[in-house]
């Protein structure tokens, strides 16, 4: 009996031990997590930190000590309530838990910036009426802002920038009567700016840039903000006029770039403005009228002025020397100014940035421009400047671009000596000569294109030495004389040989033309199609060349140029038809695109449309140089792109495969084994800077088509194989505007895009029509290709169907850095690449309304433009 009792007690004791153990363990765990009393401010903060960050990120916190002693925590005078909490850059991630910081009822300041927070708790917006400062910037918070943001009636500063907020800004913002600083930039807000914002009459600074805000500004916008000093509405889709800003009597900084503001530019200039950015809008008028007619504007206050990429005309300022003496940044580029001489600005010694590109400047570059001793950027490209290039002698100069002018003479050696210290320079397409043996071949090809390299070939000057004896001097004279004689003899032989070849080629051309002048029709076959040019006489069908209208080319010249459209000259077979390489008489090299799908247009209508496309010029578009109407066949002639397209360069050629879509073999050569190897472009393509350059150039081309053409042009088939690289390695978008030539004959075939680039709305509805936002989706895919190095379809995407799904899935998990191509990861800043991934994410949103416009994308890409020293 005693043994039984002892056994029973022993068993009971063991059971009791385990029961107590399981009851104590949670208590111990909870105690270690927080030593704060339940439902106190200390408990709420400690619980928040441990659930959001983990012990590794918050190891510096001693949760057993009073909450008012913790880092980032401030309390009231009695140390009873937390009134300030700063948890910036702690690595906090995920959704804010319920019943944590949302219960800090006396909180006046909250800073959770620079973390990875994805969403807010439902009780967050009930923090109370004491909150004065709220900073949630640089997180990943998504969703819309609820209407109960109006509960923060005492709020003075609200920063929601650099997040993923979407939807409309709620009308209840009208309750924030004490608001002074509002930052909502770099989000996905859409819709109109709410009328309730006019109630925030005490606001000093507003930044709602880089969103999708559309429509016009609320009536009375200018007269409502008498204290407003800074206003940034850039990179949205807002329509309006300069009169919208009249009445902002305290405004010093105004940035409305990248929108759709129009009308006269005069009304914007008003005191006490110091910074004015009106770039990439649709303003008209004469800038000179602002200077003379608006005499009340104090130019001496002006520090920054950018009116580039508008529709300004007439003359701009002739003399700013005595008035805008504090100006540091001046950009008038890409407008419609009339021809004029270089403005008088030599006394603007504070000027750091000067861009007068494409402003119809003529005459000479003044020598006294060297007096701009603070200048860092000088862009005078695409003008009609003549004369020699002055010795600038500006030690601070980082960027110099004088390309596409009529400058003559030799580039000063002193200027060439300064180039290694510059970040970027370009002298291309002038009548200049230069001599600098230290320049790399790539630099000479890209920054000195079309210039004469005037360095002596036979000997280098530094190899010539003063000889101490007459005998050595005679040897040198004999050697040089012999070299000159050999050179002359060789040159004579070369001329004779070339003349023989020219005569042989002329005979061959004549015989071929005679053969080609027979009556048609002509039939041609490729691997995928057969097309017919139904013409009776090849010599009777004209070929129109826009830039050279006096040249009497005919269809027979096209036959000659392409060897009768031989497969050996075939460059590509796209959705519109085959593309051939051709050499027209006079050394004109063209890409000949045959539009085989047929057209419902008459010859007159097709000619009118092709001539209209020929007038569309942009540095990042492949220009249409001519056309031929061969029976029912429409043939488009383009400038030849020497370096192929992005599809080949990114996915094919670096692997040693050359396909028919490459427009050139000039940058490729055979190695000893007969294979194809890169002679330099592959190394360039594996740099972040070059891939960003391609992305930005393509974005500019699409932005011009969408926003710079009237009516806007929708590309309909944006893809990597539509992006070509010219001889200067500048990206150029092709095939724009061709869909209209076909009419309704092939609408279904050409309007829905190519596999891998088709936006979701086309899959969901057969009636979806192409829009600018469908072009944005295609661009987003191209951007992701550039960042990842992967194809849109066909690569390994870890159980995802395509590139877009794979990238978007990782971005949602805050793992966007994983998608970056290893080839470029070490060639630039990861932060820039990660931001580019985010831009691609925005472009490929499922809903078209969530995608940014191409104007906004250009602004976003410019913000992360790499700066590299040449």
Specify the long-range contacts of residues 597-603, CB closer than 8 Å, at least 24 apart. 597/742, 597/745, 597/746, 597/749, 597/750, 598/632, 598/742, 598/745, 598/746, 599/632, 599/634, 599/741, 599/742, 599/743, 599/745, 600/742, 600/743, 600/744, 600/745, 601/741, 601/743, 603/629
Question: Token match 């010795």: residue?
Answer: 391
Name the CA radius of gyration of the chain, rounded: 34
**Taking a C-beta distance cutoff of 8 angstroms, is the pair 577, 531 a contact?**
yes
Angle, vertex CA 515, rays to CA 510 and CA 520, nearest 5: 135
Question: Token match 């009375």: residue?
Answer: 220
Residues 480/484/489/492 CA torsion (nearest 10 deg): 170
What is the C-alpha to C-alpha distance for residues 427 and 542, in angstroms, rounded to an integer? Answer: 37
**Taking a C-beta distance cutoff of 8 angstroms, is the pair 538, 522 a contact?**
yes
Burial (Cβ within 10 Å: 0-12, 13-18, ≥19) of residue 347: middle
Question: Token match 């019943």: residue?
Answer: 99
Distances in Å between the Cα of 162 and the Cα atoms of 24, 142, 835 are: 45, 11, 10
Residue 261: closest CA among 236, 291, 287: 236
Distances in Å between the Cα of 791 and the Cα atoms of 643, 647, 804, 842 are: 20, 9, 10, 19
Residue 724 β-bridge partners: 645, 732
Torsional class of 814: left (φ above 0), alpha (ψ -120 to 50), beta (otherwise):
left
- Give the count of beta carbons closer than 10 Å to the beta carbon of residue 549: 9
3-state secondary structure of 336: strand
What is the C-alpha to C-alpha distance for residues 598 and 539, in angstroms, rounded to an integer? Answer: 23
**Taking a C-beta distance cutoff of 8 angstroms, is the pair 522, 535 a contact?**
yes
What tokens were used for 825? 């990861």
What is the C-alpha to C-alpha distance for residues 756 and 792, in angstroms, rounded to an integer? Answer: 5
Distances in Å between the Cα of 329 and the Cα atoms of 111, 324, 355, 548 are: 34, 11, 9, 40
Q: How far apart are the first and last CA of the chain?
A: 98
Distances in Å between the Cα of 215 and the Cα atoms of 141, 191, 240, 688, 704 are: 25, 7, 8, 36, 20
Residue 644: closest CA among 729, 757, 569: 729
Burial (Cβ within 10 Å: 0-12, 13-18, ≥19) of residue 482: exposed
Burial call 279-317: b when 16+ CB within 10 Å, e when fewer: bbbbbbbbbbebbeeeeebebeebbbbbbbbbebeebbb
**Taking a C-beta distance cutoff of 8 angstroms, is the pair 856, 796 a contact?**
no
DSSP-derived secondary structure letter, 651: I
Residue 134 β-bridge partners: 110, 158
What tokens were used for 851? 């995608």
What is the C-alpha to C-alpha distance for residues 681 and 441, in angstroms, rounded to an integer? Answer: 12
Assess whether 717 carries a catalytic annotation.
yes
For the chain, how long is the longest CA-to-CA vector?
Answer: 134
Annotated catalytic residue, options 41, 159, 639, 717: 717
What is the C-alpha to C-alpha distance for residues 303 and 272, in angstroms, rounded to an integer? Answer: 11
- Give catalytic residue positions: 717
């Amino acid at each position: 009996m005693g043994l039984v009792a002892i056994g029973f007690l022993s068993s009971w004791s063991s059971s009791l031990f385990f029961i107590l153990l399981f009851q104590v363990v949670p208590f111990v765990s909870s105690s270690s997590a927080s030593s704060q009393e339940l439902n106190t401010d200390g408990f709420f903060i400690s619980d928040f930190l441990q659930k959001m960050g983990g012990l590794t990120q918050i190891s510096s916190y001693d949760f057993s000590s009073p909450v008012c002693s913790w880092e980032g925590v401030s309390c009231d005078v009695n140390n009873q309530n937390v009134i300030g909490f700063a948890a910036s850059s702690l690595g906090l991630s995920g959704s804010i838990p319920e019943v944590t910081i949302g219960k800090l009822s006396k909180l006046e300041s909250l800073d959770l910036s620079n973390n990875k927070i994805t969403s807010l708790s439902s009780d967050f917006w009930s923090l109370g009426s004491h909150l004065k400062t709220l900073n949630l910037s640089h997180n990943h918070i998504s969703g819309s802002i609820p209407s109960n943001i109006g509960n923060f009636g005492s709020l003075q500063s609200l920063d929601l920038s650099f997040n993923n907020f979407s939807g409309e800004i709620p009308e209840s913002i009208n309750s924030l009567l004490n608001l002074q600083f509002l930052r909502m930039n770099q989000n996905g807000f859409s819709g109109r700016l709410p009328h309730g914002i006019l109630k925030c009459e005490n606001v000093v600074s507003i930044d709602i840039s880089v969103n999708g805000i559309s429509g016009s500004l609320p009536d009375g916008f200018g007269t409502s903000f008498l204290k407003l000093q800074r206003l940034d509405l850039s990179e949205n889709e807002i329509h309006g006029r300069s009169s919208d800003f009249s009445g902002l009597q305290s405004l010093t900084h105004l940035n409305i770039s990248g929108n759709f503001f129009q009308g006269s530019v005069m009304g914007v200039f008003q005191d006490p403005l110091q910074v004015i950015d009106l770039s990439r809008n649709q303003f008209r008028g004469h800038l000179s009228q602002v200077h003379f007619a608006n005499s009340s504007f104090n130019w001496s206050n002006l520090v920054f002025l950018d009116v580039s990429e508008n529709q300004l005309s007439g003359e701009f300022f002739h003399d700013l020397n005595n008035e805008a003496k504090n100006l540091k940044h001046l950009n008038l580029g890409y407008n419609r100014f009339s021809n004029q001489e270089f403005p008088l600005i030599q006394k603007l010694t504070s000027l750091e940035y000067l861009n007068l590109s494409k402003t119809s400047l003529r005459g000479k570059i003044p020598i006294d421009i060297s007096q701009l001793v603070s200048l860092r950027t000088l862009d005078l490209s695409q003008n009609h400047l003549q004369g020699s290039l002055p010795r600038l002698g500006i030690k601070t100069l980082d960027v110099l671009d004088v390309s596409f002018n009529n400058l003559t003479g030799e580039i000063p050696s002193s200027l060439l000596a300064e180039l290694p210290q510059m970040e970027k320079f370009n002298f291309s397409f002038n009548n200049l000569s230069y001599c600098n043996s230290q320049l790399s071949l790539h630099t000479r090809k890209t920054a000195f294109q079309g210039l004469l390299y005037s360095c002596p070939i036979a000997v280098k000057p530094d190899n010539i030495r003063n000889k101490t004896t007459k005998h050595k001097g005679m040897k040198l004279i004999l050697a040089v004389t012999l070299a000159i004689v050999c050179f002359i003899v060789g040159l004579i032989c070369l001329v004779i040989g070339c003349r023989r070849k020219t005569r042989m080629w002329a005979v061959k051309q004549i015989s071929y033309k005679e053969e080609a002048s027979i009556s048609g029709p002509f039939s041609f076959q490729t691997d995928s199609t057969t097309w017919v040019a139904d013409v009776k006489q090849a010599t009777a069908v004209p070929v129109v060349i826009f830039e050279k209208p006096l040249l009497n080319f005919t269809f027979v010249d096209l036959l000659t140029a392409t060897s009768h459209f031989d497969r050996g000259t075939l460059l590509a077979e796209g959705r519109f038809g085959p593309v051939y390489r051709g050499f027209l008489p006079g050394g004109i090299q063209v890409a000949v695109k045959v539009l085989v799908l047929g057209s419902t247009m008459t010859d007159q209508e097709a000619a009118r449309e092709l001539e209209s496309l020929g007038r569309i010029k942009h540095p990042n578009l492949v220009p249409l140089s001519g056309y031929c109407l061969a029976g029912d066949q429409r043939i488009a002639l383009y400038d030849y792109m020497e370096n192929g397209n992005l599809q080949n360069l990114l996915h094919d050629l670096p692997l040693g495969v050359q396909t028919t879509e490459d427009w050139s073999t000039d940058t490729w050569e055979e190695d000893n084994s007969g294979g194809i190897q890169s002679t330099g472009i592959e190394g360039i393509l594996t740099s972040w800077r070059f891939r960003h350059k391609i992305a930005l150039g393509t974005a500019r081309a699409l932005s011009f088509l969408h926003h710079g053409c009237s009516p806007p042009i929708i590309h309909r088939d944006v893809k990597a194989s539509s992006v070509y690289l010219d001889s200067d390695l500048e990206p150029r978008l092709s095939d724009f505007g061709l869909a209209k030539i076909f009419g309704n004959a092939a609408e279904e075939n050409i309007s829905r895009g190519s596999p891998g680039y088709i936006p979701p709305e086309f899959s969901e509805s057969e009636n979806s029509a192409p829009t600018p936002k469908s072009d944005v989706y295609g661009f987003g895919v191209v951007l992701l290709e550039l960042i990842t190095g992967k194809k849109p379809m066909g690569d390994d995407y870890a159980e995802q169907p395509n590139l877009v799904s794979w990238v978007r899935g990782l971005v949602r998990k805050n793992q966007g850095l994983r998608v970056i191509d290893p080839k470029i990861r070490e060639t630039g800043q990861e932060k820039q690449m990660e931001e580019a991934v985010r831009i691609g994410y925005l472009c490929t949103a499922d809903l078209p309304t969530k995608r940014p416009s191409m104007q906004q994308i250009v602004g976003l890409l410019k913000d992360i433009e790499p700066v590299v020293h040449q």
